[in-house]
Amino acid sequence: MRPFGAILALVLLAALPVRAAEGDKPAPPREIFLAHTQAQKSSANPTAAMAAEFKRQVERLTEGRVKVGIFPAGQLGGNRELARLIGDNVVQTGFVTIGGVVPVYPPLAVTQIPFAFASQEAAQAAFDGPFGRLLGEGIERRTGMMVLGYGDSGGMTALTNARRPIHRPEDMHGLKFRVIPGFKSQDTMIRSLGAVPVAISSREELSALAAGVADGQMNTPLAILAGRFDEVQKYATLTEHLYAPPLWLFNRKAFDALAPDEQQAVRRAADAALAAGRTLARDIEGSERGISALYRRMAVTRLSAEERDAFRRVVQPAIIAEVQADLDDEGRALMDAFLKAAGK
């Protein structure tokens, strides 16, 4: 694998404008660079499936006038780096986690109020509806990045750890839990449960868990399996406390530079890709590679309604207070819209 610096240098070189002198051959097809942090296994990972389908559809719909180059597996950096690269139009588009976008659009933290949604279906409906559109408008206005849609990261968030089963909030006491660096709401949630937050980047997460730097982490069931966290974690608790879809960002200037028919192709391709990612996620969840695989590989606890409510009573007030303290007027309006979409 090429080192990060070498790969980025190639991307920067390829991103330079290509102009054909009069009488020369026409310029080669323009290229859209798409980056994400997951392995590019389109039959096993919803994010990879979205990338592959987007590439296929764009190149088909433009008859090859626009190509899509995919940079997976964090080749160009972690999620926060990808958000910056897309914002700078070094990479035109990509799938970035909420934790990666919050530094450039802090109001996004309102989506991390735990136990806001009763089900994944309710959460997806909120992001697909007026709230998701309002969120996308705010991100574009402040960052210059469009939101083409919200992907599927493989369900709602679960907790895993290497030490003991977790049934009640007090079972978290003293455990060291990995949090995204600089993501205050995660830090607050872990502290409110009596655990110790340990800031670790996504690229170092697996090795840090294996070395015991942290005892546990939180992720969706599919991400737990795809990331091989089951190899270094023994216990999983299906808290279903968060829904955190990857955001599909596209640099607005890069989009505006496309011809109208190419812009339409990008939007149609994105719709097809989002559908492909969700279909694969549902197929995996209902197969031997989904929740049943988690039960085979780990000691799984599914919280009762009463146990889930006990967690909610501890963590939700602390997170709401934390998030509200940092919001401006735009953020407060977004939070109101989020709570309305969640039925609160």
Burial of 329 (0-12, 13-18, 19+ CB in 10 A): exposed
Reduced to 3 states, what is the DSSP secondary structure of residue 126?
helix
- Percentage of residues of the chain with pLDDT beyond 70: 92
93 pLDDT higher than 60: yes
Question: How far is residue 251's CA from residue 236's CA, in Å, rounded to a whole number?
Answer: 37
Please state at what angle helix 120-128 crosses helix 130-143, rounded to 10 degrees.
50
Burial of 332 (0-12, 13-18, 19+ CB in 10 A): middle
Closest CA to 159 of 240, 244, 237: 237
Question: How far is residue 323's CA from residue 266's CA, in Å, rounded to a whole number?
Answer: 34
Closest CA to 229 of 265, 205, 195: 205
Please report the pLDDT score of residue 182 as a whole number.
87
Q: What is the mean pLDDT of residues 18-29?
A: 52
Which residue reads 């496309």 in tokens? 258
Which domains are assigned to the chain? 4-18+28-153+244-285 (3.40.190.170), 158-243+289-341 (3.40.190.170)
191 pLDDT higher than 50: yes
Question: How far is residue 247's CA from residue 99's CA, in Å, rounded to a whole number?
Answer: 10
Question: How far is residue 55's CA from residue 94's CA, in Å, rounded to a whole number?
Answer: 12
Please report the pLDDT score of residue 5 as a whole number.
58
Q: Which two tokens stand for residue 125?
A: 């409906």
Question: How far is residue 313's CA from residue 318's CA, in Å, rounded to a whole number?
Answer: 9
Please report the pLDDT score of residue 3 as a whole number.
54
24 pLDDT higher than 60: no
Of 286 and 19, the one with more pLDDT? 286
Please report the pLDDT score of residue 202 as a whole number.
85
Which is it for the CA torsion 45, 181, 252, 151, positive or negative? positive
Please state at what angle helix 329-341 crosses helix 130-143, rounded to 10 degrees.
160
150 pLDDT higher than 90: yes
Q: Which two tokens stand for residue 338?
A: 């989020």
Please report the pLDDT score of residue 141 as a whole number.
98
